Amino acid sequence: MLRVLWPSSLALLLVGCAGATPPPDAPPNPEAKAPPAEAPPAPEAKAEPPNKETNVIGALDAPVGKLEPAEIQKVIRGNFKALRACYEEGLQKTPNLEGRIAVKFVIGKDGKVSQAAEDSPATLPDPDVVKCVIAAVETLTFPAPEGGVVKVVYPIMFSPGGGDAMSNCKKTAEEKDGIRTVSIVCDKQTLKVTDMPVRAVDEKFADAILTGFEQQSPKMRRTRGKPTIADKPGWSTLVDGQTWVSTLLVTEVTKGRALVVSCLDETGGTSSGRCDTLVEFIVKREATAGTTPSPSPTPKRPLPTGTATGSGF
């Protein structure tokens, strides 16, 4: 998992699932690279400590710059629909298509991408999807790096998502004092969905919940975001535990009720595409169902202060 600032190369892992749009959401030293850490529905992505550097894409005839890992991840996650579209085209031909694509590229002084290519042979067995993903990455524009160019290696794991992603998960629900809590346990992910009555779901309310969640792992790197899912504004935080990733989303699907969804992914990585997929699926389902569930007890490790959601789980 990547934490901290890496002066020139970056290895981040993002798992993309069909029907999933990552919600909120390193360059290392001159020729440094962090090995991918296993991520959500598969592969691993472990980022080594910033002082451990390995040769990556080779030197460029330009000064090495710096760009926060969070900035790189933010741009890729914000444009993930284009990458997902490539994968969904492949799914039309091969319904169970899945695999990993590691894209290496250079972010120029102006923030534009060049030299996009495969960093290693893709495990996703569809060359057209691989070419499409690389082409999509080449169209991205990042914030201008500080002091030069930045070399990046970004592994992406694609796997079928949506409702299928939860087909083999175990679900249990309980209701107490008007609060409904649903627990969902999948292979490597654990979710809590809580729906509770509140006076208002606003930034102040969300901050209190997110802060309480983050305090469970005070030394871990956390990244906050303001995603919009199913036209519903939300507040989120992602805690990077190096060997696990935990995310918490607070939103309001039904007026006067807070929907709090937490997801713990124990496959490692700097982010969890599988959690992103599952959380988005749950929020959209709740928005469609219009039902009302409730909060759950604080889980061990950063299982975001529980969550409960409507029927169907």
Least confident range of 184-188, 203-207, 216-220: 184-188
Domains by residue range for the chain, with CATH: 9-160 (no CATH), 163-289 (2.60.120)
The per-residue pLDDT for range 73-91, each reduced to its tens digit, is 889 888 888 998 999 899 8
The per-residue pLDDT for range 107-165, each reduced to its tens digit, is 999 999 999 999 988 888 999 999 999 999 999 999 999 999 999 988 887 876 554 55
Mean pLDDT across the chain, nearest whole number?
74
Is pLDDT at 37 greater than 80 in this prediction? Answer: no
Burial class (CB in 10 A: 0-12, 13-18, 19+), 68: middle
- Going by C-alpha positions, the residue among 312, 306, 308, 255 that lies closest to residue 289 is 312
The per-residue pLDDT for range 272-308, each reduced to its tens digit, is 777 887 888 888 888 876 543 444 444 444 444 433 3
The per-residue pLDDT for range 233-282, each reduced to its tens digit, is 999 999 988 788 899 999 998 888 999 999 998 876 667 777 887 888 88
Instruction: Report in angstroms the alpha-carbon separations of 29 from 33, 64, 108.
Output: 8, 8, 15
Q: For the whole prediction, is pTM greater than 0.75?
A: no
For residues 14-36, one letter each, b for 16 or more C-beta atoms within 10 angstroms of the residue's C-beta and e for the rest, the string is: bbbbbbbbbbbbbbbbbbbbbeb
Largest CA distance in the chain: 65
